[in-house]
């Protein structure tokens, strides 16, 4: 029998839903769950067991890891025969609008046991538990059933719905799958050259009955303006009899070797959960404990030639891979705040090995292809991550090891690298950009249309540039490199002075971009984009700020009054041309809204840092994070979404689980908790 996590600290992390959500069709199919395997693969679905996305499935295997995600088994439709009655536990929707069966009506509760999703179904006087777990480091999913209460035998009919497709696509049936019988189940060879996978259940009887099931509908894909129908293959079904107190596990695996026992996997998950929670302060609230557990879902192994080749971070589920910018922004919260210094160092070394012409890879494409180098800010966030490692670990060894890499980056940025990234010798500021590309985090592009081009000198890029130079000046001093330290100090001083060119006296905040093709000319004829965006907050939040105290306060106040929403900062103020209130519609409509008002959660971390810097009130700054605790039961249970609509009710959008959203909320909360405790001790 699988063991439940039982320590008091972990019990407090359970995020539980009752009949009000579980038995309500609309809520049950809006609420999602996630399980991951530490190598890019995952399992995901809705609480109501209706797959609403192409990205839902019981085994989204990483073939190859981490980004070659392939859906193998989409669902396991389940019915239970008990005391002469048949109870469906599943739910499907078809393209003609039919929804059947309605298994969510029997769902008594749903909760997370740590990060493990758990369903309790009430069938007359019987109570059944279902759990979904993934094996860490393996493409294997475990579907575990246990009878908690019953007065008679229950007969389970488990019907696997299979496919073999890339996670971005839909499968359409009609081809012949090679289904081979194995002990306690079957093995699938979907087509010539496909990776085989098995579905087995010890103690069950498998009855072959191959057939295609047609025209499943994914309603979330329809809402996103994408194709929304899929066909799935059923090889047959399992028959399983259980009585009160008994349990069985169905295993879905794409591993060539024998799979781990469920007890071993359960023990691994419990150990990881316990280790993570012991890093938190004793008074951490339940929601902070929950997102602490969520951090593990984003840290994965990067593979090369089927072998682990260093750690990296998945930017978000269900569709992002590992992105350089996202990784460096998320790294402090996912690792350093939790004292996971070994993992942080591994990630920093992994990315250092892939730096090219002074640039950090912005994205590792799927299927082990050549990395993409198309970000000006990712590399600058790398300096920040290395600096945060040094500050939080108290050790300079890694920074010393990476010093030549960091110095070489600055050489490239000064002399010029890809996409017009080069220091302007006249003012020391960093310019970047070419027509047709987008190099900052505001990187939406539709065909040849770059929605937010930001060519020129973006404000956050130069705040990061100043921070990087100050970091290198300090590090050079610590390493006894006086000549280099003097050069970096001089360069930083020039940037600090020139940064005043961003200040808009009339509006009392920082312009978003200067010296670019967009905006209105200044007195010298150089164009200024003065639209009110959140990018200026980094000029206050980063450890090394180029602004004076009065300017810092003005930036925090304007962001608080014009950009702050419950779950982050708007990407454009409401009164600005081009503002879009809601992120919805087809791909063109959504990309056009992505940075034109849409609320981004990860920005809340820098906002509360800046607020605390200006007002020195840790408790007040931390209060801005509390709405994110309430969000944990609104979308992907126990996780934080990528973005939100810019107007009430601030509906969650984008990826349902985003690394930098989780990381920045957790980091900021822990930092402010430490600041609050420190203040109490000093009184």
Catalogue the E-assigned strands of 318-425.
422-423
* Residue at 84 is within a domain: yes
* Residue at 308 is within a domain: no
* Residue at 418 is within a domain: no
**Cα 298 to Cα 109, 229, 321, 641, distances in angstroms:** 27, 29, 10, 13
Quick one: which of 673, 662, 622 has its CA closest to 638?
662
* Residue at 445 is within a domain: no
Length of the chain: 683
Write the CATH number for 96: 2.70.98
User: How many helices (H) and strands (E) would you count in the chain?
Assistant: 19, 37
Quick one: which of 239, 248, 141 has its CA closest to 198?
141
Residues of the chain scoring pLDDT < 50 = 1-11, 13, 682-683
Q: Taking a C-beta distance cutoff of 8 angstroms, is the pair 362, 309 a contact?
A: no
Report how far residue 45's alpha carbon sits from residue 60's, in angstroms, rounded to the nearest whole number.
Answer: 11
Q: What is the pLDDT of residue 9?
A: 39
Q: What is the pLDDT of residue 4?
A: 43
Quick one: which of 70, 88, 48, 40 has its CA closest to 219?
48
Q: What is the pLDDT of residue 8?
A: 41
Q: What is the pLDDT of residue 679?
A: 60
* Residue at 328 is within a domain: no
Quick one: which of 193, 183, 159, 15 has its CA closest to 73?
159
Q: Taking a C-beta distance cutoff of 8 angstroms, is the pair 598, 650 a contact?
A: no
**Largest interatomic CA distance in the chain:** 86
Report how far residue 308's alpha carbon sits from residue 270's, in angstroms, rounded to the nearest whole number.
Answer: 23
* Residue at 446 is within a domain: no
Could you tell me what percentage of the chain is helix, strand and coil, using 3-state DSSP and rounding each to the nearest 5?
35, 30, 35
**Cα 212 to Cα 40, 55, 160, 267, 380, distances in angstroms:** 29, 20, 11, 38, 51
Domain ranges, residue 225: 8-266
Quick one: which of 638, 619, 534, 442 has its CA closest to 44?
638
Residue 303 backbone phi and psi in degrees, to 5: -110, 150
Residue 149 backbone phi and psi in degrees, to 5: -155, 135
Tell me: cis bond preceding 557? Omega within 30 of 0 counts: no
Q: How many domains does the chain have?
A: 1
* Residue at 37 is within a domain: yes
Question: Across the strands, what pairs with 93?
Answer: 99
Q: What is the pLDDT of residue 121?
A: 98
Report how far residue 392's alpha carbon sits from residue 113's, in angstroms, rounded to the nearest whole number.
Answer: 31
* Residue at 607 is within a domain: no
């Amino acid at each position: 029998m699988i063991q439940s996590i039982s320590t008091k600290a972990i019990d407090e992390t359970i995020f539980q839903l009752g009949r009000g959500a579980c038995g309500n069709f609309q809520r049950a199919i809006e609420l999602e769950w996630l399980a991951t395997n530490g190598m890019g693969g995952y399992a995901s679905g809705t609480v109501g067991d209706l797959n609403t996305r192409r990205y839902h499935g019981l085994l989204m295997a990483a073939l190859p890891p981490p980004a070659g995600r392939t859906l193998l088994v989409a669902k396991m439709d389940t019915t239970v025969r008990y005391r002469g009655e048949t109870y469906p536990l599943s739910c499907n929707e078809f393209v003609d609008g039919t929804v059947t069966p309605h298994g969510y009506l029997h769902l008594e509760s749903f909760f997370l046991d740590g990060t493990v999703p758990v369903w309790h179904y009430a069938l007359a006087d019987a109570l059944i538990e279902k759990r979904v777990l993934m094996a860490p480091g393996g493409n294997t999913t475990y579907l575990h059933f246990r009878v908690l209460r019953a007065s008679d035998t229950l007969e389970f009919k488990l019907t696997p719905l299979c496919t073999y497709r890339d996670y971005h696509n839909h499968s359409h049936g009609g081809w012949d799958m090679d289904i081979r019988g194995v002990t306690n189940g079957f093995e699938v060879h979907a087509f010539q050259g496909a990776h085989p996978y098995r579905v087995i259940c010890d103690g069950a009887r498998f009855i072959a009955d191959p057939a295609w099931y047609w025209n499943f509908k994914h309603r979330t894909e329809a809402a996103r303006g994408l194709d929304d129908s899929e066909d799935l293959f059923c090889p047959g079904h399992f028959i399983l009899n259980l009585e009160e107190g008994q349990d069985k596990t169905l295993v879905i695996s794409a591993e060539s070797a024998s799979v781990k026992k469920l007890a071993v996997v359960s023990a691994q998950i419990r150990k990881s959960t316990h280790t993570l929670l012991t890093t938190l302060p004793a008074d951490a609230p339940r929601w902070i404990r929950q997102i602490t557990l969520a951090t593990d879902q984003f840290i994965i192994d990067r593979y090369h030639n089927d072998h682990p080749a260093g750690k990296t971070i998945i930017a978000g589920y269900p569709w992002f891979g590992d992105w350089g910018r996202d990784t460096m922004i998320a790294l402090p919260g996912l690792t350093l705040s939790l004292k996971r210094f070994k993992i942080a160092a591994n990630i920093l070394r992994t990315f250092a090995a892939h730096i090219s012409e002074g640039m950090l890879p912005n994205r590792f494409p799927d299927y082990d292809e050549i990395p993409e180098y198309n970000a000006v800010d990712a590399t600058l966030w790398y300096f920040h991550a290395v600096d945060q490692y040094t500050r939080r670990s108290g050790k300079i060894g890694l920074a010393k090891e990476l010093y030549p890499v960091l110095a070489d980056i600055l050489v490239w940025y000064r002399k010029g690298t890809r996409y017009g990234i080069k220091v302007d010798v006249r003012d020391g500021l960093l310019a970047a950009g070419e027509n047709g590309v987008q190099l900052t985090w505001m990187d939406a592009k539709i065909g040849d249309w770059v929605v937010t081009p930001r060519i020129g000198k973006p404000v956050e890029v130069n705040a990061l540039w100043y921070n990087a130079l100050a970091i290198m000046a300090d590090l050079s001093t610590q390493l006894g490199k006086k000549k280099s330290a003097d050069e970096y100090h001089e360069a930083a001083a020039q940037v600090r002075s020139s940064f005043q060119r961003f200040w808009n006296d009339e509006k009392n905040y920082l312009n978003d971009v200067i010296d670019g093709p967009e905006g209105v000319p200044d007195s010298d004829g150089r164009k200024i984009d003065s639209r009110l965006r959140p990018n200026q907050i980094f000029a206050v939040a980063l450890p090394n700020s180029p602004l004076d105290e009065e300017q810092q306060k003005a930036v925090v106040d304007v962001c608080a009054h014009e950009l702050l929403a419950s779950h982050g900062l708007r990407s454009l103020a409401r009164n600005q041309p081009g503002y879009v209130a809601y992120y919805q519609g087809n791909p063109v409509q959504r990309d056009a809204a992505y940075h034109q008002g849409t609320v981004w959660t990860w920005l809340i971390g820098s906002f509360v840092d800046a607020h605390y810097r200006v007002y020195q009130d840790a408790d007040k700054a931390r209060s801005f994070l509390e709405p994110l605790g309430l969000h944990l039961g609104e979308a992907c249970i126990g996780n934080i979404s990528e973005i939100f609509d810019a107007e009430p009710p601030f509906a969650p959008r984008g990826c349902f689980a985003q690394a930098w959203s989780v990381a920045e909320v957790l980091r900021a909360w822990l930092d402010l908790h430490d600041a609050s405790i420190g203040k109490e001790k000093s009184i």
